[in-house]
Amino acid sequence: MTSADYFIKRTIQGVFTFFAVMSITFAMIRLMPGGPMDFLRAQMSQQVGGQMTQAEMDRKLELFTNMHPDRPLHEQYFGYIEHVLSGDLGRSIWYNEPVAEILGAAMPWTIFISIVSLVVIYAAGVSLGAIMAYIEGSKFDISSSMLSIVITSVPFYIVAIVLVWFLGYQWGLFPISGQFGENVRPGYNTAFIQSILYYGALPIISLVLAGFGRIALSMRGNSIQTLGADYLRVARLRGLSQRRIALRYVARNAFLPMYTGMMISIGTLFGSSIILEQIFSYPGVGYYMFRAVSSRDYPLMMGTFLFITLGVIVGVYIADLTYGYVDPRAGGGGEREAF
Amino acid sequence: MSTEQPQSPFETISETELSREDRYRQLFNGYVGTPFRIIWTDWRARLGLAIISSFLLMGTVGVSLFDPPRASEGPLLLGAFQSWAFPLGTDSLGRGILGQIVYATPAMLKMITAGALFATTMATGWGLFAGYKGGTIDRLMMSFVDVLMTIPGLPLVVVLAAILEPRNPYLVGIILTINGWAGFARQLRAEVLKLRQNSYVEASRTMGISTFSIITKDILPNVMPLIVVSFVTRARNVIIASVGLYFLGILPSSTLNWGLMLNSAYTSGGIYSPEQAHWLYAPMITIVLLSLGLLLFAQGCDRIFNPRIRARHAKKSENESSDDASFHGETM
């Protein structure tokens, strides 16, 4: 498969996935009996004391959910898709603002936390795992393997609670809510960037602590396997430098199988923001999703879901397309799964 | 006695016959006895199994040992390890914390079993069938899996939980793994693609044995270890996700639950006041312990059953090595 074919295939797949997700959200809002649509209707007739006519109510429902309840189902569906594609995700009932605006403001923060965590998790995990594999069987290796197993078994939100408990409340070393300090001016200045890092530190540390052990263990396993491979003996016989062998031969081949896992991690980290941002009162996408769920704000909830999914689709898409560069054997990545 | 020789080897009749009992014993040894003995040689799996079994005991026998916790059965906010009646102390309503943890176990176990069973069955059926069939069916089935894999799990579960408001633990378990099986289905399919070109599979095919029989008799036993490891990993994901969502209050709950305990301890100020700390510690340690048990067991099994590692294992018998190639980013 040429790389152009692969590119087209992946693009179609990404677009198709987004359509599938849109259809799922549509089905969940519209078709569930006693579900969101009925709930919103009841909520509205309560708010205005039953003074609204059916037509007015329908108009309002359309404003909030992008769906016109009295039209045939397929028209509603295409109307909804059209709205979503033009960036209109409906209106939040709780905040009474367009969902897209709320999420547009929140998204960068979640991306920031997720991407920084992802990079640190993989950097720390891969280096630790490689070191452990090189001195396999040593005291350091055994104790860090143990530590990695134990720390991996701690869910990230437990780490987050412990961190906010001690570093936040008890010792007051880190802020317990917000994205940056009150008296810094947003923009490209050092104070602002420092403040962002300071406020983002605890969420990032929680994800990293709970996540790096797993990566270290897989890297260690892969490296040990690679170290036993025949081509390494050949490399040594060729008299290549240790450094070249370690980086180009071992590290590279041990890391490649983990690249796909890294793509999935993007989605996992995005998803964990729902719990994480709640613990740290960090107003990102997950924070708004939780608010939406607890106040039954369905337009905001579904909008957030679509937004997060779109983020993941784009992330996976980029990662997938770059796989060919990381692993030249993949030749555009097309044949990875084939036998 | 006939002196006639059978015409072809296919018509030979076995000289010994297995009784029904023998056959069952062989089946038991093949599927339960021997794997168990092998698992028992690895300390990780042993410790994991011990932890899992103690949780199972807690959920079955433990519940009948003492009465369900109720409000003001003891002093308010008694610390841990101070009284025999309430070994782990009491909460702000005077309920025993140990009692709450024990009484939350059965629902948790139901949830874990339902979720892990659902995910493993779906993934196994889907992956084996797609991989064995190949062609258009395989492509269609895998496209579906790709879509499912891309949808972020936790947000999907949150949305579903908010709309469906599941209360039945079995249903909660299934919702929590609603798309969690996709990754494993893909992994299994890749494995089957390799297996299906083996000569014994080809032999079965030429003999005209049905697809279903080939999949269950020739292919399934080969991927069984993978399935066991995935089952345990899935169970761990269910427990982590469910406690997290109960902690947030997104899943509605009527029964006792570790996540709910964590939530009440947290929101009633467990992180400000030291006299409430024990209330927060107890559910946290419980979850970490169960999670650790499942992780150790999965790792132990993986180390023993994974063919690549097994070869290494045989070569350099007892070196401390663990391999986690099957551990892709599936934990949440």
Q: Which residue of A has its CA nearest to B182?
A: A264
| pLDDT category of residue B291 using cuts at 50, 70 and 90 | very high
Cβ-defined contact of A17 to B325 (cutoff 8 Å): no
What token pair was written down for A97?
């603002």
Chain A residues with CB-CB distance to B322 below 8 A:
145, 149, 217, 220-221
Q: Write down the pTM of the prediction.
A: 0.81
3-state secondary structure of A333: coil
Which long-range contacts link B66-70 to residues 24+ away (Cβ below 8 Å)?
B66/B99, B66/B102, B67/B99, B68/B99, B68/B103, B69/B95, B69/B96, B69/B99, B69/B100, B69/B103, B69/B256, B70/B95
A243-301: pLDDT as tens digits: 888 888 888 888 887 887 787 788 888 888 889 998 888 888 999 998 888 887 888 88
A218 vs B159, B189, B327: nearest CB: B327
The CA distance from B120 to B182, in Å, is 10
Residues B254-281: what's their mean pLDDT?
A: 80
Cβ-defined contact of B328 to A28 (cutoff 8 Å): no
Task: Find the angle CA(A223)-CA(A225)-CA(A231) to the nearest 5 degrees.
Answer: 95
The per-residue pLDDT for B173 is: 92
Cβ-defined contact of A157 to B325 (cutoff 8 Å): no
| pLDDT category of residue B269 using cuts at 50, 70 and 90 | confident
> How many angstroms away from the CA of A189 is the closest CA of chain B?
34
Per-residue pLDDT of chain A in tens (339 residues, 90 and over written 9)? 456 777 888 888 888 888 888 888 888 777 665 566 667 777 766 666 556 667 777 777 777 766 666 677 777 788 888 888 887 888 887 888 888 888 888 888 998 999 999 999 999 999 999 898 888 888 898 899 889 988 888 999 999 998 888 888 778 788 877 777 777 777 777 778 888 888 888 999 999 999 999 899 888 888 888 887 788 888 888 888 888 888 888 888 888 878 877 877 888 888 888 899 988 888 889 999 988 888 878 888 888 888 888 888 888 888 777 776 766 665 433 333 433
Res. B323: pLDDT tops 50: no
The CA distance from B102 to B209, in Å, is 50
The CA distance from A257 to B203, in Å, is 33
The per-residue pLDDT for A67 is: 66
B194-244: pLDDT as tens digits: 888 888 888 888 888 888 888 888 888 888 878 888 899 899 999 999 999
> How many angstroms away from the CA of B291 is the closest CA of chain A?
5
Chain B residues with CB-CB distance to A33 below 8 A:
none
CA–CA distances in Å: residue B304 to residues A43, A275, B45: 57, 35, 9
The CA distance from B244 to B239, in Å, is 8
B108-165: pLDDT as tens digits: 999 999 999 999 999 999 998 888 888 888 888 888 888 888 888 888 888 888 888 8
